[in-house]
Structure 1
Amino acid sequence: MKFLVFLITLFTLNTLSLDIKDVRVAYRDAAHNNDKVTAFNNLVASVTKNDDVALVAYKGAAITMKAKIGGSIKEKKEFLKEGVSYIEFAIEKAPNDIEPRFVRIGVQENTPRIVGYKDNIDEDKAFILKHYSNIKSTDLKNHIKDYILESKLFSDEEKQITN
Protein backbone atom coordinates (compact mmCIF):
# COMPACT_ATOMS: atom_id res chain seq x y z
CA MET A 1 0.00 0.00 0.00
CA LYS A 2 2.82 2.42 0.82
CA PHE A 3 4.37 1.69 -2.56
CA LEU A 4 1.11 2.55 -4.31
CA VAL A 5 0.89 5.85 -2.45
CA PHE A 6 4.52 6.52 -3.36
CA LEU A 7 3.83 5.89 -7.07
CA ILE A 8 0.76 8.11 -7.07
CA THR A 9 2.72 10.86 -5.33
CA LEU A 10 5.60 10.48 -7.78
CA PHE A 11 3.30 10.79 -10.81
CA THR A 12 1.47 13.74 -9.26
CA LEU A 13 4.71 15.56 -8.50
CA ASN A 14 5.99 14.87 -12.01
CA THR A 15 2.82 16.31 -13.52
CA LEU A 16 2.95 19.32 -11.20
CA SER A 17 6.54 19.92 -12.21
CA LEU A 18 5.60 20.09 -15.90
CA ASP A 19 5.95 23.61 -17.14
CA ILE A 20 3.29 24.39 -19.73
CA LYS A 21 5.79 26.57 -21.58
CA ASP A 22 8.10 23.57 -21.99
CA VAL A 23 5.18 21.45 -23.20
CA ARG A 24 4.24 24.09 -25.77
CA VAL A 25 7.80 24.23 -27.09
CA ALA A 26 7.99 20.43 -27.25
CA TYR A 27 4.68 20.35 -29.14
CA ARG A 28 5.89 22.87 -31.71
CA ASP A 29 9.23 21.08 -32.08
CA ALA A 30 7.59 17.67 -32.52
CA ALA A 31 5.15 19.10 -35.07
CA HIS A 32 8.09 20.28 -37.18
CA ASN A 33 10.53 17.43 -36.57
CA ASN A 34 9.59 13.76 -36.35
CA ASP A 35 12.80 13.08 -34.41
CA LYS A 36 11.32 15.07 -31.49
CA VAL A 37 8.03 13.16 -31.23
CA THR A 38 9.40 10.59 -28.77
CA ALA A 39 10.81 13.32 -26.50
CA PHE A 40 7.44 15.08 -26.55
CA ASN A 41 5.66 11.85 -25.64
CA ASN A 42 8.11 11.23 -22.80
CA LEU A 43 7.55 14.75 -21.48
CA VAL A 44 3.78 14.31 -21.20
CA ALA A 45 3.76 10.59 -20.34
CA SER A 46 2.65 11.18 -16.74
CA VAL A 47 -0.30 13.40 -17.70
CA THR A 48 -3.71 11.89 -16.92
CA LYS A 49 -7.23 13.04 -17.64
CA ASN A 50 -7.31 14.47 -14.11
CA ASP A 51 -4.70 17.09 -15.01
CA ASP A 52 -5.12 20.54 -16.53
CA VAL A 53 -7.06 20.36 -19.80
CA ALA A 54 -4.25 21.97 -21.77
CA LEU A 55 -1.84 19.24 -20.65
CA VAL A 56 -4.43 16.58 -21.47
CA ALA A 57 -4.85 18.01 -24.98
CA TYR A 58 -1.08 18.12 -25.51
CA LYS A 59 -0.80 14.51 -24.36
CA GLY A 60 -3.44 13.62 -26.96
CA ALA A 61 -1.45 15.47 -29.62
CA ALA A 62 1.72 13.65 -28.59
CA ILE A 63 0.01 10.28 -28.95
CA THR A 64 -1.44 11.16 -32.36
CA MET A 65 2.02 12.22 -33.52
CA LYS A 66 3.29 8.72 -32.75
CA ALA A 67 1.01 7.52 -35.54
CA LYS A 68 3.02 9.37 -38.16
CA ILE A 69 6.44 8.12 -37.11
CA GLY A 70 6.05 4.42 -37.25
CA GLY A 71 4.38 1.18 -36.51
CA SER A 72 1.89 -0.94 -38.36
CA ILE A 73 -1.36 0.42 -39.75
CA LYS A 74 -3.15 -1.10 -36.76
CA GLU A 75 -0.78 0.65 -34.32
CA LYS A 76 -1.17 3.95 -36.14
CA LYS A 77 -4.97 3.70 -35.89
CA GLU A 78 -4.71 2.87 -32.19
CA PHE A 79 -2.39 5.84 -31.54
CA LEU A 80 -4.73 8.16 -33.39
CA LYS A 81 -7.81 6.86 -31.60
CA GLU A 82 -6.18 7.13 -28.17
CA GLY A 83 -4.75 10.59 -28.85
CA VAL A 84 -8.05 11.91 -30.17
CA SER A 85 -9.81 10.62 -27.04
CA TYR A 86 -7.54 12.81 -24.88
CA ILE A 87 -8.05 15.89 -27.05
CA GLU A 88 -11.83 15.47 -27.20
CA PHE A 89 -11.96 14.81 -23.45
CA ALA A 90 -10.11 18.08 -22.78
CA ILE A 91 -12.50 20.05 -24.99
CA GLU A 92 -15.55 18.38 -23.49
CA LYS A 93 -14.28 19.17 -20.00
CA ALA A 94 -13.51 22.83 -20.84
CA PRO A 95 -15.29 23.85 -24.06
CA ASN A 96 -14.43 27.53 -23.62
CA ASP A 97 -10.70 26.99 -23.11
CA ILE A 98 -8.79 28.09 -26.22
CA GLU A 99 -5.70 25.91 -25.77
CA PRO A 100 -7.32 22.48 -26.27
CA ARG A 101 -9.10 23.85 -29.35
CA PHE A 102 -5.79 25.19 -30.62
CA VAL A 103 -4.29 21.72 -30.18
CA ARG A 104 -7.23 20.06 -31.91
CA ILE A 105 -7.14 22.33 -34.95
CA GLY A 106 -3.39 21.69 -35.28
CA VAL A 107 -3.90 17.94 -35.15
CA GLN A 108 -6.86 18.03 -37.53
CA GLU A 109 -5.00 20.21 -40.02
CA ASN A 110 -2.12 17.75 -40.09
CA THR A 111 -3.91 14.40 -40.16
CA PRO A 112 -4.48 12.78 -43.55
CA ARG A 113 -7.96 13.36 -44.97
CA ILE A 114 -8.52 9.59 -45.18
CA VAL A 115 -8.45 9.42 -41.36
CA GLY A 116 -11.60 11.53 -41.17
CA TYR A 117 -10.56 13.67 -38.21
CA LYS A 118 -11.26 17.06 -39.77
CA ASP A 119 -14.80 17.86 -38.61
CA ASN A 120 -13.97 20.67 -36.18
CA ILE A 121 -11.54 22.79 -38.17
CA ASP A 122 -14.02 25.56 -39.04
CA GLU A 123 -15.48 25.56 -35.52
CA ASP A 124 -12.07 25.76 -33.86
CA LYS A 125 -10.79 28.34 -36.32
CA ALA A 126 -13.79 30.59 -35.61
CA PHE A 127 -13.32 30.08 -31.87
CA ILE A 128 -9.64 30.99 -32.04
CA LEU A 129 -10.29 34.06 -34.18
CA LYS A 130 -13.03 35.22 -31.82
CA HIS A 131 -11.09 34.69 -28.59
CA TYR A 132 -7.50 35.38 -29.64
CA SER A 133 -7.50 38.98 -28.40
CA ASN A 134 -8.68 37.84 -24.93
CA ILE A 135 -5.72 35.52 -24.28
CA LYS A 136 -4.01 36.74 -21.13
CA SER A 137 -0.87 34.61 -21.29
CA THR A 138 1.73 36.24 -23.53
CA ASP A 139 3.41 32.87 -24.01
CA LEU A 140 0.19 31.19 -25.14
CA LYS A 141 -0.74 34.15 -27.34
CA ASN A 142 2.65 34.01 -29.08
CA HIS A 143 2.38 30.24 -29.42
CA ILE A 144 -1.01 30.49 -31.13
CA LYS A 145 0.17 33.48 -33.18
CA ASP A 146 3.06 31.44 -34.59
CA TYR A 147 0.62 28.68 -35.56
CA ILE A 148 -1.83 31.06 -37.23
CA LEU A 149 0.95 32.69 -39.25
CA GLU A 150 2.27 29.29 -40.44
CA SER A 151 -1.08 27.61 -41.03
CA LYS A 152 -2.67 27.33 -44.44
CA LEU A 153 -6.11 27.35 -42.78
CA PHE A 154 -5.99 31.07 -42.03
CA SER A 155 -6.29 33.67 -44.78
CA ASP A 156 -3.97 36.67 -44.96
CA GLU A 157 -6.83 38.78 -43.65
CA GLU A 158 -7.42 36.45 -40.70
CA LYS A 159 -3.72 36.43 -39.91
CA GLN A 160 -3.96 40.18 -39.30
CA ILE A 161 -5.58 39.55 -35.89
CA THR A 162 -2.11 38.66 -34.62
CA ASN A 163 -0.85 42.22 -35.10
Structure 2
Amino acid sequence: MKLFLSLITAFIFFFQSDLEALRNSYAKANSSNANTEAFINLAEKQSGSDAVTTGYKAAAKIMEAKITKKDRKALVKSGATSLESIIKSNPNNIELRVIRLSVQENIPKIVGYRGSIKDDKAFLINNYSKQNTALKSYVKKFVMQSKSFTDTERASIK
Protein backbone atom coordinates (compact mmCIF):
# COMPACT_ATOMS: atom_id res chain seq x y z
CA MET A 1 0.00 0.00 0.00
CA LYS A 2 2.82 2.40 0.89
CA LEU A 3 4.56 1.58 -2.38
CA PHE A 4 1.37 2.30 -4.31
CA LEU A 5 0.90 5.67 -2.59
CA SER A 6 4.56 6.51 -3.14
CA LEU A 7 4.26 5.78 -6.86
CA ILE A 8 1.13 7.91 -7.17
CA THR A 9 2.76 10.77 -5.26
CA ALA A 10 5.89 10.54 -7.42
CA PHE A 11 3.76 10.55 -10.58
CA ILE A 12 1.81 13.62 -9.44
CA PHE A 13 5.01 15.41 -8.42
CA PHE A 14 6.66 14.57 -11.74
CA PHE A 15 3.63 15.77 -13.71
CA GLN A 16 3.32 18.90 -11.59
CA SER A 17 6.96 19.82 -12.11
CA ASP A 18 6.47 19.55 -15.90
CA LEU A 19 3.48 21.85 -15.63
CA GLU A 20 5.43 24.30 -13.47
CA ALA A 21 8.26 24.30 -16.01
CA LEU A 22 5.77 25.01 -18.80
CA ARG A 23 4.18 27.83 -16.80
CA ASN A 24 7.52 29.43 -16.00
CA SER A 25 8.76 29.13 -19.56
CA TYR A 26 5.50 30.51 -20.95
CA ALA A 27 5.64 33.50 -18.63
CA LYS A 28 9.07 34.41 -20.05
CA ALA A 29 8.43 33.41 -23.67
CA ASN A 30 7.36 36.79 -24.97
CA SER A 31 10.40 38.66 -23.66
CA SER A 32 12.82 37.45 -26.36
CA ASN A 33 13.08 35.17 -29.38
CA ALA A 34 15.41 32.87 -27.43
CA ASN A 35 12.82 32.51 -24.65
CA THR A 36 10.13 31.91 -27.26
CA GLU A 37 12.21 29.14 -28.80
CA ALA A 38 12.90 27.63 -25.38
CA PHE A 39 9.17 27.57 -24.61
CA ILE A 40 8.31 26.02 -27.98
CA ASN A 41 10.94 23.30 -27.48
CA LEU A 42 9.72 22.57 -23.95
CA ALA A 43 6.08 22.40 -25.07
CA GLU A 44 6.92 20.05 -27.94
CA LYS A 45 8.70 17.67 -25.55
CA GLN A 46 5.69 17.37 -23.24
CA SER A 47 4.03 13.99 -23.45
CA GLY A 48 0.94 14.89 -21.44
CA SER A 49 -2.41 15.02 -23.18
CA ASP A 50 -4.35 16.83 -20.47
CA ALA A 51 -6.18 20.02 -21.42
CA VAL A 52 -3.68 22.46 -19.89
CA THR A 53 -0.62 20.85 -21.48
CA THR A 54 -2.43 20.74 -24.82
CA GLY A 55 -3.33 24.42 -24.35
CA TYR A 56 0.32 25.32 -23.88
CA LYS A 57 1.20 23.30 -26.98
CA ALA A 58 -1.39 25.27 -28.96
CA ALA A 59 0.07 28.53 -27.65
CA ALA A 60 3.54 27.32 -28.68
CA LYS A 61 2.27 26.78 -32.21
CA ILE A 62 0.90 30.32 -32.33
CA MET A 63 4.14 31.74 -30.88
CA GLU A 64 6.18 29.83 -33.44
CA ALA A 65 4.73 32.15 -36.08
CA LYS A 66 6.55 34.99 -34.32
CA ILE A 67 10.00 33.52 -34.94
CA THR A 68 9.57 31.67 -38.23
CA LYS A 69 9.50 33.05 -41.75
CA LYS A 70 7.28 30.48 -43.46
CA ASP A 71 3.73 29.23 -42.92
CA ARG A 72 3.05 31.88 -40.27
CA LYS A 73 -0.63 32.15 -41.09
CA ALA A 74 -1.07 28.37 -40.98
CA LEU A 75 0.69 28.14 -37.60
CA VAL A 76 -1.52 30.82 -36.06
CA LYS A 77 -4.69 29.31 -37.52
CA SER A 78 -3.81 25.80 -36.40
CA GLY A 79 -2.81 26.88 -32.89
CA ALA A 80 -5.83 29.15 -32.45
CA THR A 81 -8.24 26.47 -33.67
CA SER A 82 -6.70 23.96 -31.29
CA LEU A 83 -6.80 26.39 -28.35
CA GLU A 84 -10.43 27.32 -29.02
CA SER A 85 -11.39 23.64 -29.22
CA ILE A 86 -9.69 22.87 -25.90
CA ILE A 87 -11.40 25.81 -24.19
CA LYS A 88 -14.76 24.80 -25.64
CA SER A 89 -14.27 21.36 -24.06
CA ASN A 90 -13.02 22.87 -20.76
CA PRO A 91 -14.84 26.22 -20.41
CA ASN A 92 -14.23 26.48 -16.65
CA ASN A 93 -10.46 25.98 -16.74
CA ILE A 94 -8.92 29.27 -15.61
CA GLU A 95 -5.42 28.41 -16.82
CA LEU A 96 -6.65 27.87 -20.36
CA ARG A 97 -8.35 31.27 -20.17
CA VAL A 98 -5.05 32.84 -19.05
CA ILE A 99 -3.29 31.25 -22.01
CA ARG A 100 -5.88 32.50 -24.51
CA LEU A 101 -6.01 35.98 -23.01
CA SER A 102 -2.22 36.32 -23.07
CA VAL A 103 -2.06 35.13 -26.68
CA GLN A 104 -4.84 37.46 -27.77
CA GLU A 105 -3.44 40.54 -26.09
CA ASN A 106 0.03 39.94 -27.56
CA ILE A 107 -0.86 38.92 -31.10
CA PRO A 108 -0.86 41.72 -33.70
CA LYS A 109 -4.32 43.26 -34.19
CA ILE A 110 -4.17 42.62 -37.92
CA VAL A 111 -4.35 38.86 -37.28
CA GLY A 112 -7.85 39.29 -35.89
CA TYR A 113 -7.59 36.74 -33.07
CA ARG A 114 -8.79 39.01 -30.27
CA GLY A 115 -12.47 38.17 -29.77
CA SER A 116 -12.36 36.71 -26.26
CA ILE A 117 -10.39 39.30 -24.30
CA LYS A 118 -13.40 40.77 -22.46
CA ASP A 119 -14.90 37.35 -21.69
CA ASP A 120 -11.61 35.93 -20.43
CA LYS A 121 -10.94 39.01 -18.29
CA ALA A 122 -14.35 38.71 -16.67
CA PHE A 123 -13.86 34.97 -16.18
CA LEU A 124 -10.49 35.49 -14.44
CA ILE A 125 -11.87 38.16 -12.13
CA ASN A 126 -15.00 36.15 -11.24
CA ASN A 127 -13.25 32.80 -10.71
CA TYR A 128 -9.92 33.83 -9.20
CA SER A 129 -11.00 33.23 -5.59
CA LYS A 130 -12.07 29.63 -6.35
CA GLN A 131 -8.58 28.49 -7.42
CA ASN A 132 -5.86 26.67 -5.49
CA THR A 133 -2.85 28.60 -4.20
CA ALA A 134 -0.54 27.72 -7.10
CA LEU A 135 -3.07 28.82 -9.72
CA LYS A 136 -3.92 31.97 -7.78
CA SER A 137 -0.27 32.92 -7.79
CA TYR A 138 0.06 32.22 -11.52
CA VAL A 139 -3.09 34.16 -12.41
CA LYS A 140 -2.12 37.06 -10.16
CA LYS A 141 1.33 37.35 -11.80
CA PHE A 142 -0.31 37.41 -15.20
CA VAL A 143 -2.96 39.97 -14.24
CA MET A 144 -0.40 42.31 -12.67
CA GLN A 145 1.64 42.52 -15.89
CA SER A 146 -1.27 42.34 -18.33
CA LYS A 147 -2.16 45.40 -20.35
CA SER A 148 -5.83 44.35 -20.52
CA PHE A 149 -6.60 44.95 -16.84
CA THR A 150 -7.27 48.31 -15.21
CA ASP A 151 -5.82 49.24 -11.82
CA THR A 152 -9.25 48.67 -10.24
CA GLU A 153 -9.46 45.19 -11.77
CA ARG A 154 -5.92 44.40 -10.60
CA ALA A 155 -6.88 45.46 -7.09
CA SER A 156 -9.71 42.90 -7.10
CA ILE A 157 -7.13 40.12 -7.56
CA LYS A 158 -5.69 39.60 -4.09
Please indicate the TM-score interval, normalised by the length of the shorter structure. Answer: 0.7 to 0.9
AA of the residue aligned to 1:122: K
Percentage of pairs with the same residue: 37
Aligned-residue offset at 1:64: 0.8
Aligned-residue offset at 1:156: 0.4
AA of the residue aligned to 1:125: K
Unaligned runs of at least 5 residues, structure 2: 1-13
**d(CA) in 2 for partners of 1:56, 1:40:** 13
> Which residue number corresponds to residue 70 of structure 1?
68
> Which residue number corresponds to residue 8 of structure 2?
none
Task: Give the count of matched residue pairs.
Answer: 145
Q: Aligned match of 1:144 in 136, 139, 148? A: 139
AA of the residue aligned to 1:143: Y
Q: How does 1:1-163 map to 2 (within 5 A)?
A: 19-47=18-46, 51-72=49-70, 75-136=71-132, 138-163=133-158
Query: Contact conserved, 2:125 with 2:157, CA < 8 A, in 1?
Result: no
**d(CA) in 1 for partners of 2:121, 2:135:** 16
Unaligned runs of at least 5 residues, structure 1: 1-14
AA of the residue aligned to 1:120: S
Query: Contact conserved, 1:59 with 1:86, CA < 8 A, in 2?
Result: no
Say if 1:46 and 1:89 are closer, same or farther in 2 by CA, change over 3 A: farther
**d(CA) in 1 for partners of 2:42, 2:59:** 12
Query: Contact conserved, 2:22 with 2:39, CA < 8 A, in 1?
Result: yes
Aligned-residue offset at 1:121: 0.5
**d(CA) in 1 for partners of 2:137, 2:16:** 22
- Structure 1 runs (4+) deviating above 6 angstroms are none
**TM-score, normalisation: structure 1:** 0.82
Determine helix, strand or coil for the equivalent of 2:113.
Answer: coil
Deviations 1:111-136, CA, capped at 9 Å, x for gaps: 11110000001011110110011111
User: CA RMSD, aligned part only?
Assistant: 1.9
AA of the residue aligned to 2:90: A
**TM-score, normalisation: structure 2:** 0.84
**d(CA) in 2 for partners of 1:47, 1:53:** 12
